[in-house]
Amino acid sequence: MSALATLPVKGRAPKTGYSRAAFGPAWTDDVDVALGHNGCDTRNDILRRDLAAERLKPGTHGCVVLAGVLADPYTARSITFTRGRDTSSRVQIDHVVALGDAWVKGAQQLTAAQRATLANDPLNLLAVDGPTNSAKRDADAASWLPPNKAFRCAYVARQVAVKQRYRLWVTASEAAQIARILAGCATAR
């Protein structure tokens, strides 16, 4: 049985009560997943994981990333990251399963701790091109896919893995789109 087949297919729940705050403090280290409780905030953990040639701020126990180069999975472009008010937004940390999408597909039924874990789980996070991430907003796979077609297989597979881990569901149109992409992945090998 495919991982996608294990996900329930339902309609969206109302977005009533949704806020970013429902998923806990942004980039908390106080979560029980990979990289949690390591003394570094989640944003810097993901930058360290996803950037190459990263330069770390001295005196931060290797936590604060000052600069690096991102091989952006969403656009297939190389992006230079430099920390700063006018430059940090060029590289953003994307929730692969957007928090707004998660909310209307089961996350409102999770505990506050489970939602904070979902929001800070490295499985659900990728460093990506800032403007592309902003354009995605809270879209699911039926509404948005990375412009880099070569990354779409990995992208939807990751969405399925996250939704499985947190017992979230997919809509019928989302399931159909994911199945279509995954079928193409199998033939591309």
- What single letter denotes the amino acid at residue 126? L
* Mean pLDDT on 146-153: 98
Residue 188 has pLDDT above 70, yes or no: no
Q: Is the pLDDT confidence value at 131 over 80?
A: yes
* Nearest CA among 25, 19, 49 for reference residue 35: 49
Can you tell me the mean pLDDT for 40-55? 98
Looking at the predicted structure, is the pLDDT value of residue 189 above 80?
no
pLDDT tens for residues 4-37? 999 999 999 999 999 999 999 999 999 999 999 9
pLDDT band, residue 1 (cuts 50/70/90): confident
Average pLDDT over residues 94-113: 98
- The model carries a pTM of 0.96
Q: Is the pLDDT of residue 187 over 70?
A: no
Beta-carbon contacts of residue 35 (< 8 Å; ≥ 6 apart) = 42, 45, 49, 122
Query: Residues in the chain, how many?
Result: 189
Q: Is the pLDDT of residue 170 over 80?
A: yes
What is the average pLDDT across 113-135? 98
